[in-house]
Amino acid sequence: MADEEWAQRGIDVNTPSVARMYDYYLGGKDNFPADRVAAEEILTAVPEVRIAARENRAFLDRAVSFLARAGIEQFLDIGTGLPTRGNVHEVAQKITPGARVAYVDNDPIVLAHARALLRGMWGETTVVSGDLRHPERILDAPEIHKHLDLTKPVGVLLVAVMHFITEADDPRRIMAALRDAVAPGSYLVLSHGTHDHRQEAAKAGVRVYERATSPLVLRSRQEILELFEGFDLMDPGLVWLPEWRPTDLPLHDEPSRALMVCGVARKP
Ligand SMILES: C[S@@+](CC[C@H](N)C(=O)[O-])C[C@H]1O[C@@H](n2cnc3c(N)ncnc32)[C@H](O)[C@@H]1O
């Protein structure tokens, strides 16, 4: 669809969207000039953002595979992003045919592309418009309940999305609402940008995202660790993306170049 057609459908093509900028880092085509200008500004200041995005997708793949092998058959993926290679249902269904995935995002373009891609797979996947800042609305949505049985363990995926939640939106409240809603034996998969290292690069990233659809809120390792409260963090704990149960060689020999830390945890 041409840019003007998206604009006519009420999509804001002039404000850089965090979803479309990420699509650009990954080499995708679902982005507009304003997204590309903002993304290029970041890449000039912090070239390893491209590596970070790819390492993040690789972590998502390993974590979903791990959960599927642990017996998780249903996934709640909040902050899904634009469809790309290795979508959650594809990764999970390689191990568990019939695994169910509810994709949730607040960006209308993500929803439109995801719905187009998943047409014909409605038994196993669903795409729901929802905002992580209001987890109770996501958890109460009839589409979610029709699709997932929250009395059974579920894999909750918050991958590269909590760093778009400001302190004013109370990240601890959001995490508690999700934790309390899922059954024991459920898993949390989380990755998050940190400013513990490379503070100049972090500042440049934060500056550009000020004009995007969401500000970028980088946190310390300790603050990110606290988001796992009430869950048992699995080995190897909270680590740089390429350090989480690697199966391939990292894209860079310095793990902190991945800019994000990640972890997988289980609700006891
Ligand atoms: C960097 S992308 C990550 C995509 C995917 N989870 C991954 O890691 O590959 C962040 C996604 O979170 C979504 N997002 C940001 N803030 C959100 C919110 N408050 N509620 C729901 N989705 C949100 C964006 O629209 C975007 O699709």
Tens of pLDDT along 50-72?
A: 999 999 999 999 999 999 999 99
Asked if residue 127 has its Cβ within 6 Å of ligand 1, the reply is no
**What are the CA-CA distances from residue 184 to residues 72, 76, 171, 216 (Å)?**
12, 15, 21, 31
Asked if residue 34 has its Cβ within 6 Å of ligand 1, the reply is no
Position 1 scores a pLDDT of 67
Asked if residue 190 has its Cβ within 6 Å of ligand 1, the reply is no
Rounded to whole angstroms, the Cα distance separating 82 from 17 reads 11
Rounded to whole angstroms, the Cα distance separating 24 from 16 reads 11
DSSP secondary structure string for all residues of 150-164: TTS--EEEEES-GGG
pLDDT at 181 over 90: yes
Asked if residue 31 has its Cβ within 6 Å of ligand 1, the reply is no
Span 140-154, average pLDDT: 96
**What are the CA-CA distances from residue 193 to residues 163, 168, 198, 221, 257 (Å)?**
6, 18, 11, 9, 11
Position 199 scores a pLDDT of 83
Rounded to whole angstroms, the Cα distance separating 194 from 52 reads 12
Position 264 scores a pLDDT of 98
Span 230-258, average pLDDT: 91
Q: What is the pTM of this model?
A: 0.96
Position 118 scores a pLDDT of 84
Atom of ligand 1 nearest to the CA of 56: 8
Domains and CATH numbers, the chain: 48-197+215-266 (3.40.50.150)
Span 6-13, average pLDDT: 76
Span 5-21, average pLDDT: 85
Could you tell me the distance, in angstroms and rounded to a whole number, from the CA of residue 26 to the centre of ligand 1?
Answer: 14
Percent of the chain with pLDDT over 70: 98
Rounded to whole angstroms, the Cα distance separating 69 from 155 reads 12
Which residue has its alpha carbon closest to ligand 1 atom 23?
Answer: 79
Position 252 scores a pLDDT of 72
Position 249 scores a pLDDT of 77
Could you tell me the distance, in angstroms and rounded to a whole number, from the CA of residue 73 to the centre of ligand 1?
Answer: 22
pLDDT at 250 over 90: no
Position 4 scores a pLDDT of 73
- In tens, the pLDDT along 78-136 reads 999 998 889 999 999 999 999 999 999 999 999 999 998 888 776 799 999 999 999 99
Two structure tokens written together for 188: 């949390």
DSSP secondary structure string for all residues of 196-253: SS-HHHHHHHHHHHTTSSS----B-HHHHHHTTTTSEEPTT-SEEGGGSS--S--SSS
pLDDT mean across residues, the chain: 94
Span 170-193, average pLDDT: 98
